[in-house]
Amino acid sequence: MEKQTLEKLDAALEAVEKDLSGRVTELALKSTTGTLSQDEQAEYDHIVRLNDLLSVLKLQTEEYWAPRIAS
C-alpha cells in the first residue's frame, strides 16, 4: 500500500509537470525578457508556488514512508 501511495504521488506530479511544462517555458522566457503581463506574472507566480508546494509534499511523503517501507 505504501509503495503504491508513493507511485501514485509520483505519477500525479509527473502529470502536472507535463501539463504545465510548455506554459512554464513560455512564461519563463517572457519573465527573462521582461515582457510578462500582470496576468501572466500572477499565473507564473501561482505555478511556481504550486511547484514548491508539490515538491514539499513529495519530500514529506517520502520522509513519512521511508522508515515504514524499510521495516
Average of per-residue pLDDT values in the chain: 85
According to the model, what pLDDT value does residue 3 have? 66
Neighbour tally for 27: CB within 10 Å: 19
pTM value is 0.71
Contact 61, 5 (CB under 8 A): yes
Q: How many domains does the chain have?
A: 1
According to the model, what pLDDT value does residue 1 have? 47
Task: Kindly give the parts of the chain with pLDDT less than 70.
Answer: 1-3, 70-71
According to the model, what pLDDT value does residue 67 have? 74
